[in-house]
Amino acid sequence: MTVQPLHAPRPLGLSSARRDAAHFINGAFTQGTSGKYYDNICPVDGSRIGSVPEGGKAEIDAAVKAARAALDGPWGQMSLNERSVLLGKVAAEINRRFDEFLAAECLDTGKPASLASHIDIPRGAANFTMFTDVAKTVSTECFTTPTPDGAGAMNYGLRRPRGVIAVISPWNLPLLLMTWKVGPALALGNTVVVKPSEQTPLTATLLGEVMNSVGIPAGVYNVVHGFGGNSAGEFLTQHPGVNGITFTGSTRSGEALMREAARGVRPVSLELGGKNPALVFADADMDKAIEGVMRSAFANCGQVCLGTERIYVERPIFNEFVARLKQGAEGLRFGRPEDPGTNLGPLVSELHRKKVLSYYAKAVEEGATIITGGGVPDMPAELAAGAWVQPTIWTGLPDDAAVVNEEIFGPCCHIRPFDTEAEAIRLANSTPYGLAASVWTESLSRAHRVASKMEVGICWVNSWFLRDLRTAFGGAKASGIGREGGVHSLEFYTEITNVCVKL
């Protein structure tokens, strides 16, 4: 494990004025009326980035009312083509202000700029262009229906926006995951109230400036900051003016949110936790498998819901695989986000570090062999207050160990050997979760056979996080309800009215 040499960090390009978050309601930035604030802390070094206002019922009510008024006003009158032009401008403006978005995301999360500039910010922009294209090309159904008089009837579907959408988003890929919901919601004519994660308020705030500068009408995009339970998040999901709720985050919060959504029978789209397996067969291309599994276990410091925390390796290649993954993990470089050589940032917060370290301790109690890591790295004094943890690999745990069954959301994984394809499939599926899996094999028929048996929403073969935004994205079992992406987003963000015309 190496620690980045400390050079003077290049400025992250965010002016001090933008380090304090603000609500964005009805096209205006506001601190709200609750009078409550909390500090936004940078996980790289524990420094204070700025302040964040905590919204209460008044801010949520104002945001929902603004969203409703926009729906009833100019936004609701716009054609898909007009919305498409405006959302294209949003994407272009994010790209024009790329460095500011990058700086904001890196400050909030501590993630390497090399990662955020490759994934988070470009995807944040792309999420605004992709869904108008889908909406323009996907037709609704049409049936001709025989009637007793012989004249018949014609049925056709009309899509209408669902209304005011509550977007509750997490901290691990803040801009990417928030716009993954805001993009399609707006493309399809809805308006939104966003409650970003309390830990990553900056890019959602910055997006308010973009919305105003390209002429998105006031009230279409609203942001209220705050916490989840008994705070802005819960007040938003409870608000009777909200017509649908879309959420990415933990399964436990998803359950709470679903209870709120039951009032008024509001639809939910939930993308929740995972305990994702990788199956590595003896015929896999070892270099590709190591590269892919390295990313899936350690990218974003393991804080990706699609990440791999359980690795099953066919016995003949088990020792080699473990040795090579260990070598890879030990080659990762901690450092400040702006240092180009950094490929491992801190966890998002000290609180999350406590959770991850509690699993590191539990692994020892449960009898794991620590192949590498297992603790906190020695960091230079300037970074010592950051939320750093070592990338960690374990072997030797029983299948019922907590560490093998519960989502940790850190840079860690357990590796276990298997002997038969049937055993690998059984192990992969023996979890309440069902978000993602990856299968590594050079056998075409095995790849298709095993993929078809995975009880997950997304199965990659010989890859990981290879995303086509037109595909269905979401989780099976306790990993979620519903799918978003491409035409699937149309299902959640619109209501279909069937028109039946008697001829």
Ligand X SMILES: O=C(O)/C=C/C=C(\O)C(=O)O
Ligand Y SMILES: NC(=O)C1=CN([C@@H]2O[C@H](COP(=O)(O)OP(=O)(O)OC[C@H]3O[C@@H](n4cnc5c(N)ncnc54)[C@H](O)[C@@H]3O)[C@@H](O)[C@H]2O)C=CC1
Which residue ranges make up the site for ligand Y (CB under 6 A)? Answer: 168-172, 195, 197-198, 227-229, 233-234, 237, 248-250, 253, 256-257, 273, 305, 352, 355, 407, 409
- Tokens read off for 419: 């002997």
What value does the CA radius of gyration of the chain take, rounded to a whole number of Å? 23
Q: Tell me the three-class secondary structure of 349-386, residue by residue.
A: CHHHHHHHHHHHHHHHHCCCEEEECCCCCCCCHHHCCC
Residue 390 contacts which entry, ligand Y, ligand X, none (Cβ below 5-8 A, type-dependent): none
Nearer to ligand Y, 132 or 253 (CB): 253
CB of 143 to ligand Y, least distance (A): 39
In the block, tokens 């978000």 appear at 435
Residue 467 contacts which entry, ligand X, ligand Y, none (Cβ below 5-8 A, type-dependent): ligand X
Nearer to ligand Y, 242 or 428 (CB): 242
Q: Long-range contacts made by residues 392-396, C-beta under 8 angstroms, separation at least 24?
A: 392/329, 392/360, 392/363, 393/322, 393/325, 393/326, 393/329, 394/363, 394/368, 394/369, 394/370, 395/322, 395/368, 395/369, 395/371, 396/367, 396/368, 396/369
Residue 373 contacts which entry, ligand X, ligand Y, none (Cβ below 5-8 A, type-dependent): none
**What's the distance, Cα to Cα, between the start and end of the chain in Å?**
74
The DSSP code for 120 is I
CB of 467 to ligand X, least distance (A): 4
CB of 473 to ligand X, least distance (A): 6
Nearer to ligand Y, 84 or 246 (CB): 246
Strand 392-395 to strand 369-372: parallel, antiparallel, or no bridges (unpaired)?
Answer: antiparallel
The closest of 415, 401, 406, 407 to 372, measured between CA atoms, is: 415
CB of 236 to ligand Y, least distance (A): 7
Nearer to ligand Y, 222 or 253 (CB): 253
Using an 8 Å Cβ cutoff, are 243 and 162 in contact? yes
CB of 400 to ligand Y, least distance (A): 20
Binding site for ligand X (CB under 6 A): 170, 172-173, 177, 180, 248, 271, 304-306, 467, 473
Which residue sits closest to ligand X, CB atoms considered?
Answer: 305
CB of 93 to ligand Y, least distance (A): 24
CB of 168 to ligand X, least distance (A): 12
Nearer to ligand X, 296 or 372 (CB): 296
93, 198, 271, 407: the catalytic one is 271
**Burial class of 340 by CB neighbour count within 10 A (0 to 12, 13 to 18, 19+):** exposed
The DSSP code for 119 is I
Q: Is 309 a catalytic residue?
A: no
Nearer to ligand X, 25 or 121 (CB): 121
Using an 8 Å Cβ cutoff, are 312 and 427 in contact? yes
What are the C-alpha distances in Å from 135 to residues 91, 365, 384? 17, 53, 49
Residue 416 — φ and ψ, nearest 5°? -135, 140
Residue 407 contacts which entry, ligand Y, ligand X, none (Cβ below 5-8 A, type-dependent): ligand Y
Residue 409 contacts which entry, ligand X, ligand Y, none (Cβ below 5-8 A, type-dependent): ligand Y
Using an 8 Å Cβ cutoff, are 497 and 164 in contact? no
Nearer to ligand X, 67 or 347 (CB): 347
d(CA 489, CA 82): 20
Nearer to ligand X, 132 or 248 (CB): 248
Residue 473 contacts which entry, ligand Y, ligand X, none (Cβ below 5-8 A, type-dependent): ligand X
Residue 346 contacts which entry, ligand X, ligand Y, none (Cβ below 5-8 A, type-dependent): none
Number of other CB atoms surrounding residue 174 within 10 Å: 27
3-state helix, strand, coil in the chain (%, to 5): 40, 20, 40
What are the C-alpha distances in Å from 404 to residues 105, 310, 312, 388? 31, 7, 11, 22
CB of 257 to ligand Y, least distance (A): 5
Residue 476 contacts which entry, ligand Y, ligand X, none (Cβ below 5-8 A, type-dependent): none
Residue 206 — φ and ψ, nearest 5°? -60, -35
Active site residues: 271
